[in-house]
Amino acid sequence: MRMRARSVAVAAMATMAMGLAAPMATASEFDRQQQKETTQAVEALQASDQAPDVVEEGLDERLSQLPPDRTLEDVVKAMYPGDEAAQQAVLNKLTGMSTAGFWDQTWKYTKCAAYVSLLFVPGAKAYRAIKALGGVAETARLLIGAGNAADFLEIAGGVGSQIIGAGGIAKNCF
């Protein structure tokens, strides 16, 4: 019996030495390293005054594929496809911090685009208004550029009223 245990131990050590057991250890180490890098990237983004750039190309299409009962997390994932660090940093900023003076123009645009994106449900009046104004990115730029609801309505015309009255737009875009 003692000889068998020793043989098993020798076989296990030989397997590790030959690299046959390495993939499991490497995968675990890779996951830890990836988690560490993501955490560092999130912390760097949160500390910076610059928001990550929204991936505008295909944004409207990605948003139109989201369910009508979309969450802010769904929207942020569509805004930053495949960039987990940016998604987490933006979600943390959108949900965790609301101090005045915190948002520079880039973060303000990101915040506004996220809330405009929540309205981007195909078939809804707000959806048609957003599309008429050139999509989510352009609508967010117009809202921020206008500075207040009255000026936005002047710029956007009749379609603007479908957007201005929606929950969170005035609070998050002006």
What DSSP assignment string belongs to 36-71?
HHHHHHHHHHHHSSSPPPP--TTHHHHHHTS-TT--
| Boundaries of domain holding 71 | 51-173
Looking at the fold, whether 128 and 106 belong to one and the same domain comes out as yes
Looking at the fold, whether 18 and 94 belong to one and the same domain comes out as no
Looking at the fold, whether 79 and 158 belong to one and the same domain comes out as yes
Q: Higher pLDDT residue, 95 or 161?
A: 161
Looking at the fold, whether 25 and 66 belong to one and the same domain comes out as no
Looking at the fold, whether 66 and 41 belong to one and the same domain comes out as no
Q: Higher pLDDT residue, 134 or 17?
A: 134
Looking at the fold, whether 156 and 84 belong to one and the same domain comes out as yes
Looking at the fold, whether 40 and 63 belong to one and the same domain comes out as no
In Å, how far are 58, 85, 86, 156, 164 from 124, measured between CA atoms? 20, 31, 29, 17, 14
Q: How confident is the model over 107-161, as pLDDT tens digits?
A: 888 888 998 998 888 888 889 999 999 999 999 999 999 988 899 999 888 888 8
Q: Are 22 and 16 in contact (CB under 8 A)?
A: yes
pTM (global) more than 0.85: no
